Amino acid sequence: MRELLGTHMDARETWATRIGFILAAVGSAVGLGNIWRFPFLTGESGGAAFLVVYLCLVLLIGIPVLLVEFVIGRRSNRNPIGAFDELNHSQWKIAGVVGAVAGFIILSYYSVVGGWAIQYMLAGLTDGYVAGEGAEAFFAETASGTGAIVFHAVFMTLVGGIVALGVRNGLEKAATVMVPSVVVLLVGLALYGSTLSGASEAYQYYLYPDTSTLLSDAISVLPAAAGQAFFTLSLGMGVMITYASYVGEDRSLLSDTGLIVGIDTAIAILAGLVVFPFLFTQGIAPGDGGPGSIFVSLAGAFAELPAGNLIGTVFFFMLLLAALSSAFSIFEVVVSFVIDRFDIERAPASVGLAVIIFILGIPTALDLTYLELYDMFANEILLILGGLLMSLFIGWVYADNALEEIQKGRSASWFGDFWLTAVRYFVPPVLLITLALAVVGYYEFLQSTFF
């Protein structure tokens, strides 16, 4: 689009309305990360302590880093690959490369989980949902094996096809119905969950941290919580650079940030309020749910609710829309990178990449261990590294311009100073510590898995 419009900034298209930008950013942020990944990670990481650390990281790291990406995007009017050239700091392109590699890996298994959502959507229309052990058996069948590979292919075809046909915008508009629908469905399910026998135990687990061990728990869950904060807000990959590149200068980046983070976080918290009461009531220890947590617990619920098969189908259809609008944003980063780096046309680049990403994802569709392996590496290491590099760039190399940029569009000036101070002195050390812990954790995970 930029090429057609020429290089003049004022000639470049901007979002027609404030809401257009927010919807696109929310469409990218809200996805499997909130509804699938957040509850299962919280369950594996001990519950409330994880929630506390995650919320602190969203506020103290997520918001500043989101603004870092917004500032880079609006200042450069470019995608993450071109952005650093445009700002005359080409060597920082490495941040874009890290992001593109992360996107490549993430999409390969994101698509597998998207395929699970399709299978669950169809299950409501065919055999219906089953509770109890049947729910666990159904998940095991869905998650790995031929079916998983076939629907991984279906999801990747949808992503590639919709992008190639240029109907992505239309679908993203349709997805605007998705966010409110997901909220309504989750609120309804959470209310239903609150009436179940396992509810009080679940809330205890999910919402009340054990203060005596909070500090040591916090350190042990730090990499996972930081990875989740980045993943759910689509940070560290440059997605938000691209979206902000279309934002007009008259707009306050700060208030948009608040709204995006608020919606994204609320949906994750709600997903936890749904999953844990069901798991406890079904007698599944939260740590044992793993990547199946949301699927097993909800299938159990839909099996018992009146009109459960219909509600379930609608729910998983909404989840599919949410996953698709996030997947487009990841695909976009990877495709732009390949076009830029290898000078290939958009159409062949998209098709070729969709095929390569599909192949890369196959191991994760055969064995959930690989899924965790990909997931930890991409989120806890690559996304954090990408965010660290971008923050260092803005805080230490591009600070004056960044401050000017964030001040545009009615953002209060005290906030700009506050933000920049955080980006210089707070964000990098925290991300560095997180990264070190993540690398050690990953090494241990590899050892325990393969040796």
Which residues bind to ligand PHE, rule: CB under 6 A? 28-29, 31-34, 106, 231-232, 234, 237, 239, 326, 329-330
Instruction: Report the 3 state secondary structure along 141-173.
Output: HHHCCHHHHHHHHHHHHHHHHHHHHCCHHHHHH
- List of residues 6+ apart from 48 with CB closer than 8 A: 205, 206, 207, 208, 209, 210
Phi and psi angles of residue 132, each rounded to the nearest 5 degrees, phi first: 65, -140
Q: Of 77 and 329, which has the nearer Cβ to ligand PHE?
A: 329
Is 263 or 366 the residue whose CB approaches ligand PHE more closely? Answer: 263
Question: At 219, which amino acid appears?
Answer: I
Q: Pick between residue 261 and residue 394 the one whose CB is nearest to ligand PHE.
A: 261
Q: Give the three-state DSSP class for 126.
A: coil
Q: Which is nearer to ligand PHE, 99 or 209 (CB)?
A: 99
Question: What SS3 state is found at 328?
Answer: helix
- Residue 22 C-beta: closest distance to ligand PHE, Å: 15
Residue nearest to ligand PHE (CB): 33
- Choice between 34 and 281, CB closer to ligand PHE: 34
Is 29 or 376 the residue whose CB approaches ligand PHE more closely? 29
Q: Cα 242 to chain center, whole Å?
A: 16
Our CB check for ligand PHE shows the closer of 330 and 438 to be: 330
d(Cα 448, Cα 289) in Å, to the nearest integer? Answer: 20
| Amino acid at site 362 | I
Q: How far is the CB of 73 from ligand PHE (least distance, A)?
A: 14
What is the smallest separation between the CB atom of 157 and ligand PHE, expressed in angstroms?
A: 19
When computed from its CA atoms, the radius of gyration of the chain, rounded to whole angstroms, is 21
Pull the structure tokens for residue 122: 């169809």
Kindly report the number of other CB atoms within 10 A of residue 177's CB atom.
Answer: 11
Nearest approach in angstroms of CB 75 to ligand PHE is: 21
Report the nearest approach of ligand PHE to the CB of residue 386 (Å): 10
Q: CB of 85 within 8 A of CB of 17?
A: no
Q: How far is the CB of 167 from ligand PHE (least distance, A)?
A: 20
* Degrees, nearest 5: CA angle 293-299-300: 90
In angstroms, the CA 251 to CA 254 distance is 9
Whether the CB-CB separation of 333 and 80 falls below 8 Å is answered with yes
Minimum Å gap between C-beta 113 and ligand PHE is 9
* Rounded least distance, CB 204 to ligand PHE, Å: 27
- CB closer to ligand PHE out of 66 and 199: 66
Counted residue by residue, the chain has a size of 451
